[in-house]
Structure formats: structure tokens, C-alpha cells
Amino acid sequence: MQQIFSFIYKNSHKLLFLLLLGISLGLTIQAHSYHKSKVISSANFVTGGVYEQINSVNEYFHLKTQNDALAKENASLRRMLFNEADTAKAPVVDTIKGVRKVDVVVAKVVKNSYTVPENFLTLDKGATSGIKADMGVVNSQGIVGIVDHTSANYATVVSILNTQSKINAKIKKSNHFGSLVWNGKNTGFVQLIDVPRLASVRKGDTIVTGGQSVIFPANINIGTISKIYTDNETNYYTLEIKLFNDMTNLGYVYVIKSKDREEILTLEKQSQPNE
Amino acid sequence: MNSTVIFNIIRFFLLIAAQVVIFNNLTLFGFITSFPYILFIMLYPVNGNRNVLLAVSFLLGILMDMFSNSGGVHAAACLVLAYFRPGIFKFSFGLSYEYQTVRLDDVLTPERFSFILISVVVHHFTMFLLEVFRLVLFWEVLLRTLCSTVFTILVCIILIYMFKPSRR
């Protein structure tokens, strides 16, 4: 027994190193597996508060671009209002439920990262504003990411510039589906993989969200095709997509709350066979 | 509680604050970031308690991880640097480094530069490797390590000389 103690005492430096290294490697591995409960995240009181303070100073430097973006969005919304397809026709109401399917929460990006392969954003709204994990985040130009973790007042978002993120997307004119991923290289471009060869794709075609997942509603803008690669071994295209969004400069974003989400998820769970 | 301990505690928090507020937002060409917060581990007293250094390095890394949402990447890299620090000292300053008073914040001699260089390379390589976490992007890890190392060393040397304690 005494020998064990003296061994521990003699090698305390090495043992402490191995213990702490084990903990940190465990945390790293946990962080790399998508959507496991992450222990260390910036959606907490201390770091969220610090980032909010920093952002309140930074905000002033971007007021002009933010105003421009808001004015443009107002213009496009107004255009939709004036060019309504048929003003005589009454708007279609969901008669069964009588409520809107999608609700939107405005939040501010207090921390943005885009230099590492796995990027996260921090928002200044959290569970008290009704934000939950797996909600979609968009802004006026296109999609931004998916909510990862929430605390009372902050939320972290898996950016689309994250090698772990995978979002259902489609080609606007032909409705062929694919998965949107990022290869970790250029912040202006993402990749759409697994697009069937049957699809007719051309440079400049618009890519929008697919609506197969319950996270994003269909037809939210993503970007345009800039390069087309064909895989000789499989029957799929890989498309290089130029994002509409400038992910390095994000101000206000909208978190999408889908009202039917819970219902769809429980339904899908029921039809899946037990594992 | 002597003045060295208080001085190190102040340095700990100042370096974290500087890293989060300034240096995380300072990126060259969109992917080169500097991490001068590891100056804390380098400037920790040579004859200080080694177990305390390990524990404090872990804390430093975990705090950085919290701010950058990176799991345990910074913590692991800081630990590796803290663990190999005596070895790097021995390599750079010769075997009897513990008896002569090694000061980093003095005229930049080849010994001091080699210590800073090796420390930064060890830390950055561990960090970027864990951050990418797969060997497909190995060359990118090397490139990023190289570029960020140069940037970090520059910032570190500037910081050391900016806050060089005035003597006499």
C-alpha cells in the first residue's frame, strides 16, 4: 500500500498530465461527434455575456451595412406586397389548425467564427425566447445554420461553414435533392453532394432549401452553382455553391420556429422500427 | 502570496482578455490567427511548481475552448506545451537551466528565440491537428501551423518587449 502511495507521489506530475490530457481529449472527441451534449460551449452566462459586451462596441462599425441590408430587405418585402399574385383571392388559411405554421424570432449574432473547420455562432437569445436545439437560422440573404445548444439567454448555432453540418437542399428549377456540406476551405463556397446525374444542372442555377427536413421551410435561398464536378464512380454530381450570404459579416438573424416540428418528429419516431 | 503569484494571476486574466477581445478577431488572409495567450505558459516562473503549472494550463485552455466552442482542443494543446516545457528549456538553454536565472523578457538571444519557436510549434501543431481531427487534411494542418506560428511568434515578441519590466 505504501509503495502505491509513494509511486503516485513520485509520478504525480506525469499522472496529473495524463489525467488532464485524458479529460481534454475526451472533450475534443465529444465535440467532434455532431450533436452530442457538448460540455464546453459559449452558450453560458460568462462567455455569452463577454461576447455581448464586445459586440455592443463592434456593432457601431457595421451600422451602415446593416442599414443597407435592412433597406434592401424592406424593398423586397414591399415588392412582394405590391405584386401579390391575385389580390381578389382570399389568402389561404390552414383551416384545420387556424394558426401559422412558422414563427420567427429575431436574434443578434454576438460571436461569429469562420477561420476553423468547425465554426459556431453565438446568438443573444436563448431558451427564454423560445429557442430550442435544431431550429433553423436564416437572414435576409439565405440560410446561416442550425441551433446547437441553448442556455437561458444565449444560443450557439452550427454554422453552414462547419464540416459537420449537413443540410437538405435542392435545385430551384428542377427539384432534385442533395446534401449541403462544407469542405472547410473557402468561406464563400459550400458543396452540394449526392445530386443525381439525371438532374440538369447549369452554372448559375439557384440552390434553395429542400423542405424535406423539419428544420428549414422549403425555398429559402442558399446560393448559385459556380462549378460542376462529376464523379466517375458514382452517378452523382458534386456542385460548388457560391453563397448569397457573406458568412464573415453577420448582424441580425432570424430563428425559425416550426410549429409542426414536434408533431412530425413524434410521428416519424412511431413509424420507425424499434432498435 | 508573494508578488510573483499575484503578478502571474494578473497576467493570466490579461492574456485571456487580450486573446478574446483582440487577437481572435485579428485574422490574416482569412485563416491565420495568432494565439499569444500561451505566453502565460512560457513566462511562468522556471522554478515554479510543475503540477500547478499543469493545472493552470488546463484551466487556461478550457477557458479558451469555452470562448471558441472547440471542445477540448486548446486545453489539450496547452497541457502538452506545459508538460514538455522543461524539456524545451533544457534543449534551448542547456542542461543547467534551473541554476542560472533564465529570463525570457530580455535581449533576444538565439537561445530565447529557439525556446519561443519550439514552444509555439508544439502548441500549434497539437492544436490544429486536434481541431481538424482527420488525416485527410494533413497538409492543410501543416500549412496552418506554419503560418500561424510565424504570426504568433511575431506577436509574442512584440508583447514581451512592450511589457518588459523596467529594471533599475
Structure confidence at residue A4 (pLDDT): 82
Enclosing domain of residue B66: 3-162
Q: Which three cell numbers stand for residue A54?
A: 464586445
Are B66 and A40 within 8 A, CB to CB?
yes
> Does A36 have pLDDT greater than 70?
no
Average pLDDT, rounded, for chain A: 79
A251–chain B nearest CA distance, Å: 16
Mean pLDDT of B119-140: 78
pLDDT band of residue A11 (cuts 50, 70, 90) is confident
3-state secondary structure chain A: CHHHHHHHHHCHHHHHHHHHHHHHHHHHHHHHCCCCCCCCCCCCHHHHHHHHHHHHHHHHHHHHHHHHHHHHHHHHHHHHHHCCCCCCCCCCCCCCCCCCCEEEEEEEEEECCCCCCEEEEEECCCHHHCCCCCCEEECCCCEEEEEEEECCCCEEEEEEEECCCCEEEEECCCCCEEEEECCCCCCCEEEEEEEECCCCCCCCCEEEECCCCCCCCCCCEEEEEEEEEECCCCCEEEEEEEECCCCCCCCEEEEEEECCHHHHHHHHHHHCCCC
Higher-confidence position of A197 and B106: A197
Name the residue in chain A with its Cα closest to that of B24: A113
User: Which domains can be identified in chain A, with CATH numbers?
Assistant: 45-84+92-163+249-259 (2.40.10.340), 167-243 (2.40.10.350)
Residue A24 has its nearest CB partner, among B66, B75, B133, at B75
B130–chain A nearest CA distance, Å: 7
Interatomic CA distance for residues B25 and B84, integer angstroms: 29
> Does A53 have pLDDT greater than 50?
yes
B119–chain A nearest CA distance, Å: 17
Structure confidence at residue B24 (pLDDT): 78
What lies within 8 Å, CB to CB, of A148 at 6+ separation is: A35, A38, A41, A43, A120, A133, A155, A156, A157, A158
Complex prediction ipTM: 0.74
Which DSSP symbol is given to B165? P
Mean pLDDT of A40-63: 75
Structure confidence at residue B52 (pLDDT): 85
Q: Taking CB atoms and an 8 Å limit, are B20 and A50 in contact across chains?
A: yes
Structure confidence at residue A93 (pLDDT): 55
Q: Does residue B116 lie in a domain region? A: yes
Pairing mode, strands A189-196 and A236-243: antiparallel
CB proximity A117 to B under 8 Å: yes
Structure confidence at residue B153 (pLDDT): 87
Q: Taking CB atoms and an 8 Å limit, are A24 and B61 in contact across chains?
A: yes
Name the residue in chain A with its Cα closest to that of B65: A40
pLDDT band of residue B168 (cuts 50, 70, 90) is very low
Mean pLDDT of B144-151: 85
Interatomic CA distance for residues B163 and A216, integer angstroms: 51
Mean pLDDT of A166-179: 85
Q: What is the pTM of this model?
A: 0.68
Distances (CA, A) of B16 to A124, B23, B40, B66, B68: 22, 10, 9, 11, 12
Q: Does residue B111 lie in a domain region? A: yes
By percentage, how much of chain A surpasses pLDDT 70? 87
Q: Taking CB atoms and an 8 Å limit, are B58 and A184 in contact across chains?
A: no
Mean pLDDT of B86-107: 72
Interatomic CA distance for residues A202 and A171, integer angstroms: 10
Name the residue in chain A with its Cα closest to that of B137: A184
Distances (CA, A) of B19 to A76, A107, A109, B77: 40, 26, 19, 16
Residue A47 has its nearest CB partner, among B67, B70, B130, at B67
Mean pLDDT of A132-158: 86
Interatomic CA distance for residues B91 and A46, integer angstroms: 39
B70–chain A nearest CA distance, Å: 7
Structure confidence at residue A74 (pLDDT): 82
Q: Which three cell numbers stand for residue B73?
A: 482542443
Q: Does residue B167 lie in a domain region? A: no
> Does A40 have pLDDT greater than 70?
no
Mean pLDDT of A30-46: 64
Question: Looking up cell 472547440, which residue turns up?
Answer: B70
Structure confidence at residue A72 (pLDDT): 80
Q: Which amino acid is at A205?
A: D
> Does A96 have pLDDT greater than 70?
no
Chain A residues in contact with B58 by the CB 8 A cut-off are 20, 23-24
Q: Taking CB atoms and an 8 Å limit, are A29 and B54 in contact across chains?
A: no
Residue B137 has its nearest CB partner, among A23, A156, A184, at A184
Chain B residues in contact with A184 by the CB 8 A cut-off are 132, 137, 140
Structure confidence at residue A95 (pLDDT): 52
Q: Does residue B168 lie in a domain region? A: no
Name the residue in chain A with its Cα closest to that of B59: A20
CATH code: domain of residue B151:
1.10.1760
Which DSSP symbol is given to B28? E
Mean pLDDT of A252-275: 78
Structure confidence at residue A260 (pLDDT): 74
Q: What is the domain count for chain B? A: 1
A53-57, A106-110, A177-181, B112-116: least confidently modelled range: A53-57
Measured distance between the N- and C-terminal CA atoms of chain A, rounded to whole angstroms: 47
Instruction: Tell me the Ramachandran region of residue B21: left when phi exceeds 0, alpha when psi lies from -120 to 50, beta otherwise.
Output: alpha
Interatomic CA distance for residues A47 and B11, integer angstroms: 19
Which DSSP symbol is given to B33? E
